[in-house]
Structure 1
């Protein structure tokens, strides 16, 4: 089926049923002996994300045009004033038509980082647009960025569930334009979606990761860790998953990182000696009154 854009150009509409599900992608077993490749002990004795075929059938990958998908909702990753100039955001506004701009101006106005706002889909095949604002990444505030990104994905899915939406198209919320490392963002996205589907699988028919070719490569590499399709992938995940796999909702669990203030002239850097448990003296760098965290 085709719709017509305002300029009279045909817009192909892609149905959810036409999308390839994660369960249908070929499996890849990269190493036959992780004990030799990565050490003598696996990170986990059992994977925190066991194989669940039902969940794998709810995940789809799409590398085409987000605005061509006939879904209940597509996600627009934007900025706080909702006028981001990214190509995807601009395409959403162009294809949705002037009604979207008017609705945002009159009713929405802004969206804070980590939150979501919902508008009608207007001229898009999608019924709704869920807008969210991803974090700016800075290594000094890494924990805050991780928590905010988790909130973006969690709030998107929660809003969709509240509205009774069965299919959601998710682009990559963590933007390279905002300095967020693609692989680190993918870990948060995948585990957050996985945990949400574990709790509310009956609420969704399909969650679609909409990816460009570069992100597709990252997601195909990491998806088997969070959505294993075979026991071999589940076993491999015990070696490959990071130490932080999130809490019950996929939220980051690492302790807050203290910020280095070495360059601040108001703080002095000096060495303080202390004894360790073996009776040996060694120096610890002190920044102001706080030990520096390596």
Structure 2
């Protein structure tokens, strides 16, 4: 627990400093986290990260995230160009490498690039739009994680998803949502009118972030369970890998974009 807390404080402080600075420094940090998460996801499938197609996917993730500081992917059409180029390249490599790289491998890489790349692209876009909004989203995800852990330990009796994640409980999940809403109300009270969200909208957004953040956590747990791996990595002592720490954010940000919360 001591190692977990120490790592969390140091890594969290570094992350928040660059989040506060924003712009290119935060985009570079986001790209680095995204690429590490991508390689962790690839390693779960036992695919060799030294394969050229895997490295190509890592470059695609970095390019996708870093493009966020330049312009809108949708506006300039780069989104479709990158997608088409990546698909053509990995399918070509499938032919050149024959049995060493299959269509299933290509499909896994394609999904991994966009499963990781799109949320981190949106993370940087949200930071460019509003420091308060990205802080709100990040704080609510942290509050949800902490709430689920501590409420679950204290009051948890009924398993939430025993096959996927045996330690998670229904009581912890409900407690996480309630704590997230309370933290959101406190956040708005401190931020004041600068946070341009009405109280009902704030509560609704908090509910969405907390509920779907927990679903994102379960999605990553299901992937790890499928490959019989406990943690996605070891880069963060006591916490696992980058994918373990950002799984909720990865799931929540695209949903917020669909709902118009991110422009």
TM over 0.5, yes or no?
Answer: no
**TM-score bracket relative to the smaller structure:** under 0.3
Higher helix share: 2
Tell which structure's C-alpha radius of gyration is larger: 1
**Normalising to structure 2: TM-score of the pair?**
0.28
